[in-house]
Amino acid sequence: MAGSKVVLVTGASSGIGRATAERLAARGHRVVGTSRRDSPGEAPWTWAVLDVTDEASVAACVAGVLASHGRIDAVVNNAGLVMAGAVEDTTPDEARLSFETNVFGAMRLARAVLPGMRAQKAGTIVNMGSLAGRVGMPFQGLYSASKFALEGLTEALAQEVAAFGVTVALVAPGDTATPVVDNRVWAAGSRDPASPYAAACARVVAMYEKDERAGAPADGVAALVTAIVEGRRRGPRHVVGPLGQRVMVASRGVVPGGIFHWGMSRYFGLGR
Ligand SMILES: NC(=O)c1ccc[n+]([C@@H]2O[C@H](COP(=O)([O-])OP(=O)(O)OC[C@H]3O[C@@H](n4cnc5c(N)ncnc54)[C@H](OP(=O)(O)O)[C@@H]3O)[C@@H](O)[C@H]2O)c1
């Protein structure tokens, strides 16, 4: 295909990453999809092993793609995990895992591909944020914190590399129906019945799971990412997902903070 790009998609074994790799490959791009496991299934793209929390793994993966294809035109930093649990119950090591995956993972990939992108004076980096990176979600505080951090990192990086012809964008999906429901990582303390948060946490996370199961198809996110990679959609931040959730997040900018907080607490049945 004319304009075919070499695209590295992290976390292509499941959910949004898989849908994105599928759509990009169907449009004729040369896709390298990653998983921590070796070739986790038949796919119309090349698999590469990658653990984004491991610097050596990132370096080896990027070197492998460059050796095979000679260039990397775009990276979709999709790999991520959703961490559940009360902030007080979460240990620093558990918190670190959320940030190592969702923030430093994306940063590692960016640092690894940027020298090549700067040299070729072109490239696109798409970071997978979340609406939870716009609104602090109770009992998913470490997930929200990591996605808020990714927003700031993306916005700063986009400005730093623009002069080199590199585009950086963040995509923030709302609830999307993917296997994330089964892949949620828990702060162990919040599953201990002795935790003062255990009951509320279980109840609120069950609400999240219900919304995720009924979420939008992953292909909607994949279509948006593909349009960014192909230069058909421009801009640093993109929101995608169920209308009600997009309105809720947008209202944050106009509704007074106290009222927004009150509404959230009422919705989740929290507070006194
Ligand atoms: N689903 C939603 O409602 C939703 C909403 C907003 C944002 N998001 C974001 O969208 C992205 C994808 O989520 P999803 O719903 O598609 O989840 P998913 O089905 O659980 O897929 C997660 C992917 O990330 C990979 N991964 C996890 N840890 C990794 C690590 N340390 N190194 C490399 N790869 C790793 C997994 O690959 P392996 O296990 O094969 O290594 C898997 O392919 C995440 O960043 C998530 O935060 C999802």
Check residue 2 and give its pLDDT. 47
Question: Token pair for residue 241?
Answer: 């997902």
Task: Please answer whether residues 128 and 171 qualify as being in contact, where contact means their C-beta atoms are separated by less than 8 angstroms.
Answer: yes
Angstrom distance (rounded) from CA 53 to CA 166 = 24
Helix (H, G, I), strand (E, B) or coil at 169: strand
Query: Which residues' Cβ are closer than 6 Å to ligand 1?
Result: 10-11, 13-17, 35-37, 40, 50-53, 78-82, 101, 128, 130, 173, 175-176, 178-180, 183, 212, 215
The type of residue at 222 is A
What pLDDT shows up at residue 3? 76
Collect the ranges in the chain with pLDDT lower than 70.
Answer: 1-2
Chain centroid, CA 29 distance in Å: 21
CA–CA dist 155, 132 (Å, integer):
17
> Do residues 20 and 226 touch, judged by C-beta distance below 8 A?
yes
Task: Specify which residues 216 forms β-bridges with.
Answer: 176
Strands 123-128 vs 166-173: parallel, antiparallel or unpaired: parallel
Looking at residue 195, the DSSP 8-state letter turns out to be S
Residue 128 Cα to ligand 1 midpoint, Å, equals 9
Structure confidence by residue, pLDDT tens digits, 195-251: 999 999 999 999 999 999 999 999 999 999 999 999 999 999 999 999 999 999 999
Q: Is 49 exposed, middle or buried (0-12, 13-18, 19+ CB in 10 A)?
A: middle
197 is known as an active-site residue: no
CA distance linking residue 245 with residue 228, whole number of Å? 22
Nearest CA to ligand 1 atom 14: 15
Residues 66-83 pLDDT 10s = 999 999 999 999 999 999
pLDDT value of position 1: 52
pLDDT score recorded for residue 272 = 82
Distance CA 175, CA 185 (A): 17
Cα 47 from Cα 79, distance rounded (Å)? 14
Long-range CB contacts (within 8 A, 24+) of 243-246: 245/131, 245/174, 245/175, 246/131, 246/174
SS3 assignment, position 166:
strand
The phi, psi pair for 157, rounded to 5°, reads -60, -40
Beta pairing, strands 6-9 & 74-77: parallel
Element housing 128 (H / E): strand 123-128
Residue 85 forms beta bridges with which residues?
A: 140
Give domain 6-265's CATH superfamily: NAD(P)-binding Rossmann-like Domain (3.40.50.720)
In the sheet with 6-9, reading across from the earlier edge strand, the strands are 46-49, 30-35, 6-9, 74-77, 123-128, 166-173, 237-240
Q: Which of 47, 180, 182, 240 to mutate to test the pocket of ligand 1 (most atoms within 8 A of CB)?
A: 180
The distance from CA 254 to its chain's CA centroid, rounded to whole angstroms, is 26
Distance CA 154, CA 163 (A): 15
